[in-house]
Amino acid sequence: MDSVSAVVLAGGEGERLRPLTRNRPKPLLPAATTPILEHVFDQLLEAGVTEITVVVGYGRNRVQAYFGPTYRNVPLTYVTQNQPLGSGHALLAAESEVDGTTLVVNGDQIVDSQIISDVLEAHDNAAATLGLLNRRDIESYGGVLLEDGAVTELVENPQDERGYRFNAGVYAFESAIFDAIRAAEPRAGEQSLIDGIIELLESGADVRGVISEGLWVDATYPWDLLDVSFELFEAGLVEGDYEDPSAGAIHDSAVIREPVVIAPDCEIGAGAVVGPYACLGENVTVGSNAVVERSVIDTDTRIGTSATVADCVTGVGVTIGNGTVIPGGPGDVRVGDRVFEGESLGALLADRVTDQGGSTYVPGTVVGPEANVEAGATVRGTLPEETEVRS
């Protein structure tokens, strides 16, 4: 195709990623130091996409303000999904912007350009072409049965032992998909893109699948941002040029243990140790003799002198005081009425948490936005926003 257009579904909040999505949608959460949606755009452009329509909803003003009308000289058109009524409903919101074959991807999952290119190359006179992976962990996602390149069945959250392929959420569609979504019976008041594809199958349309070897990563829960970032390191999709002066001020006696990625305007003090697998967002300060490893530290965070931070995810504007210890996982994490055992999370500190120093975090701790931790406190469990933690 000479001109390739794409629709990016980026209207969801990411409820299971709370409290990080309290103030911004999942597509703007960091994978390493870059918003997930920016990675999505990069891979689309790498695959040759020349026009992008972005379906926004929750936090749409933040998305539009961040990216503006173009991305790397490719025009961005925004359409709004006014209510969160499913992935099919989101695609219908973009119908007026679609003319002919279009690529559809999720804006909150990272797929590399190889999967996108494989789908585009395989799409030939089919109503739909799905990007598939050979993966075992499909129970929480979608499975696809394939025969000689033809999709025969789609199953959400499959539990049986049939030979499913993993649905990577990368699609090429012809215009028939819109009528198929409208014809499919809504479930729980939502219009599902998968149900639209099933409707195509049941109408006898040609639905194809292509198996790719490309990278696919997703963050379901906040601590998954650690694994997402680490996988991007391993795949070579993020690099940290910390020797470049624009990457910030790093004291001569600081130790940088690769792999790391250090965004512009960071400061790293004397004797500090950063890495391996540390991601420092813009304007992060790491105090003298502090240690930061296996962590995703978001924009404007301050890590104090002699603090220890391991297996940690922060929101923006967090303060971790002098001498505070976040020793790393594994730990048990409580989300609502569920407990996730043995997760590699030292602590999650949401936006603008203030830790006054000398505190200790029990592995698996989750602290909500705007919380204040007094000096010398022991912090454990899942704490709501604006909590006062006393020593």
Q: Is-contact 26 32, C-beta < 8 A?
A: no
Q: What pLDDT was estimated at residue 210?
A: 92
Q: Does domain 239-389 have CATH number 1.10.10.10?
A: no
Q: What pLDDT was estimated at residue 188?
A: 82
Concatenating the DSSP letter of every residue in 1-45 gives --S-EEEEEE----GGGTTGGGSS-GGGSEETTEEHHHHHHHHHH
Q: What is the pLDDT along the chain (391 residues), one digit of tens a residue?
A: 567 899 999 988 878 888 998 888 999 999 899 999 999 999 999 999 999 999 999 989 999 999 999 999 999 999 999 888 889 999 999 999 988 899 999 998 899 999 999 999 999 889 999 999 998 777 777 888 888 888 898 888 888 878 889 899 999 999 999 999 999 888 888 888 989 999 999 889 999 999 999 889 888 888 999 999 988 888 777 766 554 545 568 999 999 999 999 998 999 999 999 999 999 999 999 999 999 999 999 999 999 999 999 999 999 999 999 999 999 989 999 887 889 999 999 999 999 999 999 999 999 999 999 999 999 999 999 999 999 999 8
Q: Does domain 5-218 have CATH number 3.40.140.10?
A: no
Query: Under 8 Å CB-to-CB from 243, ≥6 apart: which residues?
Result: none
Q: What pLDDT was estimated at residue 2?
A: 65
Q: What are the CA-CA distances from residue 178 to residues 99, 143, 146, 228, 353 (Å)?
A: 12, 22, 23, 32, 44
Please name which of 261, 270, 208 lies closest in space to residue 234, comparing C-alpha atoms.
261
Q: Which amino acid is at 220?
A: T
Q: What pLDDT was estimated at residue 382?
A: 92
Per DSSP, 145 falls in state: E
Q: What pLDDT was estimated at residue 161?
A: 77
Q: What pLDDT was estimated at residue 271?
A: 96
How much helix, strand and coil, in percent to the nearest 5, is found in the chain?
A: 20, 35, 45
| Rounded distance between C-alpha atoms, residue 22 and residue 136, angstroms | 32
| Rounded distance between C-alpha atoms, residue 290 and residue 99, angstroms | 54
Q: What pLDDT was estimated at residue 245?
A: 46
Q: Domain limits of the chain?
A: 5-218, 239-389
Q: Which amino acid is at 124?
A: D
| Rounded distance between C-alpha atoms, residue 9 and residue 87, angstroms | 7
Buried b (16+ CB within 10 A) or exposed e, 122-150: bbeebbbbbbbbeeeebeebbbbbbeeee
Both tokens assigned to 56: 């926004």
| Rounded distance between C-alpha atoms, residue 269 and residue 285, angstroms | 8
